[in-house]
Amino acid sequence: MQLVDVDIAKHTIELKVNGRPSNLVLDPRTSLLDALREHLHLTGTKKGCDHGQCGACTVLLNGRRINSCLTLAVMHEGDEIVTVEGLGSPQALHPLQAAFVERDGFQCGYCTSGQICSAVGMLAEVKAGWPSHVTADVASQQIELTAEEIRERMSGNICRCAAYPNIVAAIRDVAEGARR
């Protein structure tokens, strides 16, 4: 069997990540995750399973949470991409980042950036009135954010250290603080 060296044409794209435009020359097969980590050096977004099963690579795309390992970077020219680095800074943490620290919502920390980005997107879904599989009244625009509701909505994000009670508590703190 002879291997054929195929020269894949590179594509020049502009990605808007964390409010800043970046011009990249990429192989069209480059995942958004690899573009963020390898080309833009935004290493907060983690490569866990690279199959969309663990949620470590979760980012916000136009305000909605996605697994960045399952999409190609070239598909997102003109989209607003937010990584964990774009949510807050060490001097001014996003409320969810601060709640994760306060509630010790992480142990090894590998899943934390995906958990936080997913939680930001999840809280926006709740605010918009989107029901989940466990929502008691799917017609209601006021969804009660119970521990069961949070666990269901965050089920795409795996924590191998099992810090789930602390993650749920951190999310509830932010959700309840937003209601006050």
CATH number of the domain residue 61 falls in: 3.10.20.30
Task: Please report the pLDDT score of residue 165 as a whole number.
Answer: 96
Task: Please report the pLDDT score of residue 48 as a whole number.
Answer: 95
Same domain, 56 and 130: no
Q: Which of 18, 1, 8 is nearest to 113 (CA)?
A: 18
For residues 100 and 172, is the Cβ–Cβ distance under 8 A?
A: no
pLDDT in tens, 65-97: 999 999 999 999 999 999 999 999 999 999 999
| Dist CA 158 CA 112 (whole Å) | 10
Task: Please report the pLDDT score of residue 78 as a whole number.
Answer: 92
Task: Please report the pLDDT score of residue 152 as a whole number.
Answer: 97
Tokens of 69: 């390992």
**Which of 87, 115, 149 finishes a domain?**
87
CB neighbour class for 5 (10 Å; exposed up to 12, middle 13-18, buried from 19) = exposed
Same domain, 130 and 169: yes
Task: Please report the pLDDT score of residue 168 as a whole number.
Answer: 97
Task: Please report the pLDDT score of residue 178 as a whole number.
Answer: 61
* Cα R_g (the chain), whole angstroms: 18
- Where b means 16+ CB within 10 Å and e means fewer, 103-120 reads bebbeeebbbbbbbbbbb
Task: Please report the pLDDT score of residue 36 as a whole number.
Answer: 98
Q: Which residue has the tokens 């990605």?
A: 15
Task: Please report the pLDDT score of residue 8 as a whole number.
Answer: 82
User: Can you give the CATH number for the domain in which 133 is found?
Assistant: 1.10.150.120
As beta bridge partners, residue 58 has 67
Range of the domain at 21: 11-87
Task: Please report the pLDDT score of residue 30 as a whole number.
Answer: 97
**Which of 58, 87, 116 finishes a domain?**
87
Cα dihedral 157, 158, 159, 163 sign:
positive
* Structural domains of the chain, count: 2
| Dist CA 60 CA 172 (whole Å) | 20
User: In the sheet that 64-67 helps form, which strands lie side by side, from edge to edge?
Assistant: 20-26, 11-17, 80-82, 58-61, 64-67
Same domain, 54 and 16: yes
Which portions of the chain are predicted below pLDDT 70? 4-5, 178-180
Q: Which of 44, 16, 86, 55 is nearest to 157 (CA)?
A: 55
Task: Please report the pLDDT score of residue 180 as a whole number.
Answer: 43
Tokens of 83: 């990584």
